[in-house]
Chain A
């Protein structure tokens, strides 16, 4: 039995230790926000935050994350209030098909924690998730907007 903390809740799964975290979340714990895209950590649709850092859950054995804090896209909003990144994504109409966007937003949240005012180059370097709908330009715009909103809030 492996114990996990998913979106602030203690969860446990009776699975083999090498089972990828993505499939534990989706198939065992019914957390469907992380998506399967490639299974080899290339596309980023399965991105979750592990103690705040983005990881590609398709390639992380569940035993390696026992006891760590896992945040999926379902856990980004707090008390029904969307995260500034989610709000920026809506305001700038980032999604098209929506499939990769959970992973994109979690990558953006992590970037903004490390670099509250990222440059375009910072964004391009950090945002390595694939979006086939080609929403990259709007992702860039939305990250800048979320950064500006956070700054305004602090002031």
Chain B
């Protein structure tokens, strides 16, 4: 079985975002980047599929030179091959998907995994776009993937519950938290990853269809009031929620 995983290199979740001087993108100064957390789940799932069905796992990332750090982490986790589709420009999800789809078409994997969304732009589009571009099925926000020959039965998260979804391979799956617990790279894995090559090719993405015209911080919330230090504050809280906020 050939499994491809598409991963992204994003600011750490603990990062405080500052808007850059162009007012269109973030100030990257001092920002730590990491593999998008849902993509780690996707990589883990790919490794488990390889354990079960044999075959190989290829990771792809479309982006700048820095994306090699995240590809290197995937290698340390145990993937067989890493490909950087090199592109330093800011692109929308559609454009990124065209670049990835072109490479995936040639690769023809049985399974393509993505994180359910990349935690930078939170678009949750690229994986499903790739599936549509390749003309194959997709199942989003999966918490269980059970492959039986060419048929796949998934559990997918919906509001307040789960759906069981059946589909066929080849297909795209978008990993949600709960699918598995991603492994930490072992020391041996980290050492081995240093000598594994990262294949590099220029990406050929289409023009973006969504352009950012401005970025700003959300309006700061005014600091509210501290209304007490124990349960004697409860009547005042209820009064405020009723009279001022009008929420109860």
Q: A and B bound?
A: no
Q: Give chain A's interface residues, CB within 8 Å of chain B.
A: none
Q: Give chain B's interface residues, CB within 8 Å of chain A.
A: none
